[in-house]
Structure 1
Amino acid sequence: MDKNFLSFPDWQATADTLHLYLQVAGKVKLQRSYPEPEWGHVRMPLTVQGIGTGVIPGPDTNFEIYFNLRRHHVDVQNSNGIRTRLDLNDGLSVADFYQQLMAALEFIQAPTAVNTQPQEFHDPVPFPEDTRHHTYDRHAVELFLDNLHFAQRGLTQFLAPQRGKVHLPAYWFGTMDLSGALYSGQSAPYPGRGRISANSFDERFCEFGFWPGDPSFTDPAFYVMPYPFLSNIGSYESMLSPSKARFLAKSSEFVLTLEDAFSYPHPQQVVVDFCRTCFDILQRMDPWNDIEWITEPLTYSR
């Protein structure tokens, strides 16, 4: 493993296990948090050494669950100072992790019952029964964290100056991606069914993210997904930058693989340019109201 990234098949066993560990914690946050539009209450912040839930409202005190992916443990603590720690090791099954986390929540006086069925996962087994997923390769986990930090810098550089409603990049436990979004403020109800989609797609917006790949698309990649979805971009494809970026009509999103981003001399700027040109194409094809104000440059000096 001498590359600065892994293709999904290279670490799928670990990726699946980590994905499910984080889902258990994410479902705790979902159960306890006050609902926000577009599922904003389930976003999990990236930290210097890992991924956390951030502050969760508890029955009497606030609490948090924090995955340190450098030292490979999980800290569970409340605002009164009660805390405990779980170790992350190869061989720790999802079932064992689930039981340990539920016990930890009892210990810090924040017992929380969750839906134990995995969401948006290709191989779902209820958490208490899942002894199938138990692989934990520390090197792969740390490399994934490195990739998240690289992605966070590029995506934030593009999103931070935008005006209006912006979600800066955070981890989503359902799809294992790090993403943020820029919103138009214009209603656009989802035409289909499903609780997740109906509450995700209720406003014109554009998502900018990174995901490590999955069994159907094995290359870790950056993506830009406008909603309402685009079926094609026609002649605007020539506006895309860098040259290795492409639009996938099947999934209605723009894609730039991590490997392609790293192939350029200035990878972070390439990610910024990719986001910007995708958003420019969207505004050519389906312009938002007040776009001139949303994109008006800031005047702060550094």
Structure 2
Amino acid sequence: MRGHGTMSGTTTAGGTTTAGGWPALRVEDWQDTRATLHMWLQVVGKVRMAHAPLVNHWWQVPFYVTPRGWATSSIPYGNGMFDLEFDVVHHRLLVRTSSGEDRSVPLEPQSVARFHERTIAALAGVGIDAPIRPVPTEVDPAVPFAEDHGHASYDPAAVTAFWRQLIQAERVLTRFRAEFLGKVSPVHFFWGGMDLACTRFSGRPAPIHPGGAPNCADWVMEEGYSHELSSCGFWPGGGEEGAFYSYAYPEPEGYRDAPVDVEGAFYSAEFSQFLLPYEAVRTATDPDAVLLAFLRATYDAAATTGGWDGGLLTDPQRLDVHAR
């Protein structure tokens, strides 16, 4: 796997991975690469958005963590389909079609403008039109992709370490997702905010969201938050090595004061959500247990203060089918 160790643990130039597979990656060490990668994600994400039919809460637009990076999943096109995958083991963007054709774009130091040009050309090479709105969302300033020559960094070791962070977060979020019997999202990697997320719903409608995200129409947020929810995930910011988060919309009275007895966890008034620094999980004796405790406690805070149906949870031991 080109400089990477076994699945149980590895060390790379981009960050040290513990024996449990949780890599250390300081936010300050890859800021330029992260900003560039964020714009590349938006280019590809908008291609998916251009062709996939709308699903509630924009569930048709995110990426999914894969054994090689993250991908769009299948996108309908004509009477066939295609997908795109960021392969951060071999550092290339793959374009694959159901007709058997494929193309690739190298992931290397290059401007957003150059990446955009090459990606559109790769799609055209397999007969796919990509009528995207070529301007990023949820960021300010929003420089059109074709004019963005300022973001041009790519540290492959750092990007691979970030992917390994996503692998660990996705594993635990998937376990947490399975404990809920109600409406719950897949574990999504959203390219707008560059965060991994899983969202549970109470089943009740929510008040209209006020919007306010930079360079993002209010109706976009209204669709995403149309129903009462408790959402959690991982964001590569908010701490020295990123942070796990959890919030409720609308936030019930007493939510922010609810007890979350997990070392390092706190409620951030700035972000209106509970945060748990990634490094607090990574350095724990049992990272999975610490993260699950945080996710369960913050959901309990939302469900208790919000009056959710207690029957929406299942017994976690029921999920251990491999032990039977």
For Structure 1 versus Structure 2, the TM-score category normalised by the shorter chain is: over 0.9
State whether structure 2 residue 229 is matched by structure 1 residue 210. no
Instruction: Give unpaired runs (5+ residues) of structure 1.
Output: none
Distance 1:235 1:63, change over 3 A: closer
Give the Cα–Cα distance (whole angstroms) in 2 for the partners of residues 56 and 235 of structure 1: 43
Contact 1:7 1:213 in 2 (8 A): no
State whether structure 2 residue 239 is matched by structure 1 residue 221. no
Q: Hey, what does 1:192 align to over in structure 2?
A: 210
Give the Cα–Cα distance (whole angstroms) in 2 for the partners of residues 39 and 136 of structure 1: 29
1:120 corresponds to which of 138, 143, 149 = 138
Cα deviation code 1:233-285 (max 9, x no counterpart): 46523xx1312101112322110010111232101111100000111111221
Q: Could you say what the CA RMSD is over the residues aligned between the two structures, in angstroms?
A: 1.8
Q: Hey, what does 2:295 align to over in structure 1?
A: 275
Distance 1:7 1:88, change over 3 A: same
1:201 corresponds to which of 225, 237, 240 = 225
1:82 corresponds to which of 101, 119, 131 = 101
Equivalenced residue count is 295
After TM superposition, the structure 1 = structure 2 runs for residues 4-83 of structure 1, keeping only pairs within 5 Å, are: 4-83=23-102
Q: Comparing 63-72 with 205-214, which one deviates more in the overlay?
A: 205-214
Distance 1:234 1:130, change over 3 A: closer
Give the Cα–Cα distance (whole angstroms) in 2 for the partners of residues 232 and 95 of structure 1: 47
Counting aligned pairs with the same residue, the percent is 30
Give the Cα–Cα distance (whole angstroms) in 2 for the partners of residues 65 and 191 of structure 1: 32
1:253 corresponds to which of 273, 276, 281 = 273
Cα deviation code 1:132-160 (max 9, x no counterpart): 11100011001100100111112111111
Cα deviation code 1:62-94 (max 9, x no counterpart): 11111101110011121011111111112x111
State whether structure 2 residue 191 is matched by structure 1 residue 167. no
Shift of 1:29: 0.6
Instruction: Give unpaired runs (5+ residues) of structure 2.
Output: 1-13, 17-22, 212-217
Cα deviation code 1:198-255 (max 9, x no counterpart): 01111011111001017xx664000011111257546523xx1312101112322110
Q: TM-score w.r.t. structure 2 length? A: 0.86
Q: Hey, what does 2:153 align to over in structure 1?
A: 135
SS in 1 for 2:90: coil
Tell me the amino acid that sits aligned with residue 270 of structure 2: K
Flag as ranges the 4+ runs of structure 1 deviating above 3 A.
230-235
Contact 1:186 1:203 in 2 (8 A): yes
Shift of 1:122: 3.9
Q: Comparing 52-61 with 129-138, which one deviates more in the overlay?
A: 52-61
Give the Cα–Cα distance (whole angstroms) in 1 for the partners of residues 34 and 149 of structure 2: 15
Give the Cα–Cα distance (whole angstroms) in 1 for the partners of residues 37 and 277 of structure 2: 22
Give the Cα–Cα distance (whole angstroms) in 1 for the partners of residues 43 and 69 of structure 2: 16
Shift of 1:59: 2.8
Give the Cα–Cα distance (whole angstroms) in 2 for the partners of residues 223 and 235 of structure 1: 16
Q: Hey, what does 1:156 align to over in structure 2?
A: 174
Tell me the amino acid that sits aligned with residue 281 of structure 2: A
Give the Cα–Cα distance (whole angstroms) in 2 for the partners of residues 23 and 166 of structure 1: 24
Give the Cα–Cα distance (whole angstroms) in 2 for the partners of residues 10 and 230 of structure 1: 37
Tell me the amino acid that sits aligned with residue 150 of structure 2: R
Distance 1:185 1:85, change over 3 A: same
SS in 2 for 1:225: strand
Give the Cα–Cα distance (whole angstroms) in 2 for the partners of residues 282 and 66 of structure 1: 35
Give the Cα–Cα distance (whole angstroms) in 2 for the partners of residues 274 and 63 of structure 1: 37
Give the Cα–Cα distance (whole angstroms) in 2 for the partners of residues 61 and 235 of structure 1: 51
